[in-house]
Amino acid sequence: MKLTKKMTSKLTIKQLFWIITSVVIAVLPHLPRLPIWFPFLLLIVVSISWLSANNKINPISGWVIAFLTIFIFIAIIYFQGFSLNRELSVTILTTMTVLKLLETHAKRDAWMIVTLCYFVMLTRFFYSQDIILMLYLIISIIIVTHSLFVLQHANRPTIFIKHELKQTLKLLATGVPLAAMFFLFFPRLGSPIWGSPNLFGEGTTGISEEMSPGSISQLFNDDSTAFRATFTSSIPEKLHLYWRGPVLWDFDGFTWKRNRDIRPTTRHPDFKRIGHKINYEIELEPTGQHYLFALDYMLEPPKKAILLPDSQLLNRHKINQLRHYEITSVLKQYNPYELLSNENLDRLTNLPDGYNPQTIKLVQSWKAINPNPEYLIQKALNWFATDEFYYSYSPPLLQGDTVDQFLFETKSGFCEHYASAFTVMMRSAGIPARIVTGYQGGIQNGDYLLVKQSDAHAWSEVWIKNKGWRRVDPTAAVSPLRVEAGSQALMSQQSRSWHDTSWYRKMGENYDAVRHKWNKWVRDYNVVKQKALFEVFGFDLQDSKSVAIILGIIMMTTTLLVLLFLYITRPKRKLNHYDKIYNKLIKVFRKKGLNKPADQGVMSFTQMATAQFPQAKIPIHDFTQLYLKLRFSKYSNKQKNLDNRLKKLISQIRLTINKKV
Amino acid sequence: MKPEFLKPDYLQNELGNKFFPNLMLHRKPENLPLQINWRRVFILPTKPGLFFAFITFLMLIASLNFNNNMGLMMTFLLVGLAQVALYQVFFNLKNLTIDHVTVKPVFLGEEAEFMIHLKADEVKYDICIKNKSSSKDSLTPCLIELPADELHPILYTTMTSKRGWLTLGKIKILSSYPFGLFFAWIWTNIDAKCLVYPIPEISPPPLPTHAQSDGETTVIKQGEDFHGLKPFQSGDSMRLIAWKRTAQTGALISREFQQTHGKKLLLDYAQIPLADTEAKLSRLTAWVLIAYQQQLDYCLKLPQFNSGYGYSSKHHLACLKELALFALPQSKTT
CA distance B134 to chain A (A): 13
In A254-409, which residue ranges form alpha helices assigned H by DSSP? 342-347, 357-369, 373-386, 402-405
Residues for chain B: how many in total? 334
**B128 in helix, strand or coil?**
strand
Q: How many CB atoms lie within 10 A of CB A6?
A: 11
Substitution target in A90, A117, A153 with the highest count of B β-carbons within 10 Å is: A153
Mean pLDDT of A286-304: 87
CA distances from B206 to B108, B179, B211, B299 (A): 22, 60, 13, 16
Taking the alpha carbons at both ends of chain B, their separation in whole angstroms is: 37
Q: What local confidence, expressed as pLDDT, does residue A472 receive?
A: 92
Q: Is the pLDDT reported for residue A27 higher than 60?
A: yes
Q: What local confidence, expressed as pLDDT, does residue A534 receive?
A: 81
Q: Output A9 or B217, whichever has higher pLDDT.
A: A9
Q: Are residues B177 and B312 in the same domain?
A: no
Q: Are residues B32 and B104 in the same domain?
A: yes
Domain boundary among B157, B179, B196: B196
Asked, as a colleague might, if the bond just before B178 is cis with ω within 30 of 0, I would say: yes
Asked, as a colleague might, if the bond just before A371 is cis with ω within 30 of 0, I would say: no
Mean pLDDT of A331-359: 83
| B202, HSE (Cβ side, Cα atoms, 13 Å) | 1
Task: Indicate whether B285 belongs to any domain.
Answer: yes
CA distances from A656 to A585, A607, A610, B63, B231 (A): 13, 16, 12, 73, 42
CA distances from B225 to B257, B258, B261, B292, B322 (A): 6, 5, 12, 18, 29
CA distances from A60 to A21, A67, A76, A101, B26 (A): 20, 11, 22, 11, 49
The phi, psi pair for A143, rounded to 5°, reads: -65, -50
Contact B123 A525 (CB under 8 A): no
Cβ neighbours of residue A602 closer than 8 Å, sequence gap 6 or more = A582, A624, A627, A628
Task: Indicate whether B172 belongs to any domain.
Answer: yes
pLDDT in tens, A93-150: 899 899 988 888 888 889 999 999 999 999 989 888 888 888 999 999 999 999 999 9
Confidence grade of residue B57 (pLDDT, cut at 50, 70, 90)? very high
Substitution target in B41, B59, B73, B157 with the highest count of A β-carbons within 10 Å is: B73
Task: Indicate whether B37 belongs to any domain.
Answer: yes
Contact B67 A526 (CB under 8 A): yes
The phi, psi pair for A29, rounded to 5°, reads: -70, -10
Burial A550-586 (b: 16+ CB within 10 A, else e): beeebeeebeeebeebbeeeeeeeeeeebeebbeebb
Cβ neighbours of residue B218 closer than 8 Å, sequence gap 6 or more = B260, B261, B262
Residue in A closest to B147 by C-alpha: A573
Asked, as a colleague might, if the bond just before B177 is cis with ω within 30 of 0, I would say: no
Sequence spans of domains, chain A: 13-160, 210-509, 577-660
- By DSSP bridging, strand B264-268 and strand B297-302 are parallel
In A387-430, which residue ranges form alpha helices assigned H by DSSP? 402-405, 415-428
Q: How many CB atoms lie within 10 A of CB A370?
A: 12
pLDDT in tens, B28-50: 677 777 888 777 888 999 999 99
Contact B126 A3 (CB under 8 A): no
pLDDT in tens, A245-276: 999 999 988 889 988 888 777 666 666 666 77
Across A265-274, A422-431, A617-626, B191-200, least confident range: A265-274
Which residues from chain B sit within 8 angstroms of residue A603, using beta carbons? none
Contact at 8 Å (CB) between A114 and A147? Answer: yes
Task: Indicate whether B60 belongs to any domain.
Answer: no
Q: Are residues B159 and B267 in the same domain?
A: no
Contact at 8 Å (CB) between B181 and B48? Answer: yes
**A2 in helix, strand or coil?**
coil
Contact A171 B84 (CB under 8 A): yes
Q: Are residues B105 and B181 in the same domain?
A: yes
Q: What local confidence, expressed as pLDDT, does residue B332 receive?
A: 43
Q: Output B28 or A531, whichever has higher pLDDT.
A: A531
Q: Is the pLDDT reported for residue B6 higher than 70?
A: no
Contact B68 A192 (CB under 8 A): no
Across A493-507, B141-155, B316-330, least confident range: A493-507
**B186 in helix, strand or coil?**
strand
Contact at 8 Å (CB) between A269 and A337? Answer: yes
Complex ipTM more than 0.85, yes or no: no
Task: Indicate whether B224 belongs to any domain.
Answer: no
Task: Indicate whether B80 belongs to any domain.
Answer: no
Nearest CB to B145: which of A111, A121, A155? Answer: A155
Q: What local confidence, expressed as pLDDT, does residue B130 receive?
A: 83
Mean pLDDT of A359-367: 90
Q: Are residues B182 and B263 in the same domain?
A: no
pLDDT in tens, B68-110: 899 999 999 999 999 999 988 988 888 888 888 888 999 888 8
Eight-class DSSP state of B190: B
DSSP assignment of A82-126 equals ----HHHHHHHHHHHHHHHGGG--BHHHHHHHHHHHHHHHHHHHH
Task: Indicate whether B229 belongs to any domain.
Answer: no
Domain boundary among B143, B162, B196: B196
φ/ψ bin of A222: left (φ > 0), alpha (ψ from -120 to 50), beta (otherwise): beta
Distance CA A203, CA A196 (A): 16
Q: Is the pLDDT reported for residue A32 higher than 60?
A: yes
Q: Is the pLDDT reported for residue A185 higher than 90?
A: no
Domain boundary among B143, B174, B196: B196
Mean pLDDT of A393-412: 85
The phi, psi pair for B3, rounded to 5°, reads: -65, 160
User: Rounded to two decimals, what is the model's pTM?
Assistant: 0.76
Task: Indicate whether B117 belongs to any domain.
Answer: yes
| Domain containing residue B31: CATH number | 2.60.40
Contact at 8 Å (CB) between B94 and B124? Answer: no
Substitution target in B59, B63, B81, B157 with the highest count of A β-carbons within 10 Å is: B81
Q: What local confidence, expressed as pLDDT, does residue B214 receive?
A: 44
Alpha-carbon radius of gyration of chain B: 28
Q: Are residues B175 and B269 in the same domain?
A: no
Q: Are residues B182 and B307 in the same domain?
A: no
CA distance A596 to chain B (A): 16
Q: Are residues B268 and B190 in the same domain?
A: no
CA distances from A152 to A14, A32, B50, B92, B139 (A): 12, 33, 15, 13, 15
Taking the alpha carbons at both ends of chain A, their separation in whole angstroms is: 50
Angle at A114 between CA A110 and CA A115, to 5 degrees: 115
Cβ neighbours of residue A462 closer than 8 Å, sequence gap 6 or more = A373, A377, A426, A431, A432, A433, A469, A470, A472
C-alpha closest to that of B170 among B154, B152, B156:
B156
- Domain span at B298: 259-332
B 193-222 residues with CB < 8 A to A: none
Distance CA B143, CA B99 (A): 15
C-alpha closest to that of A485 among A476, A473, A495, A494:
A476
Q: What local confidence, expressed as pLDDT, does residue B330 receive?
A: 56
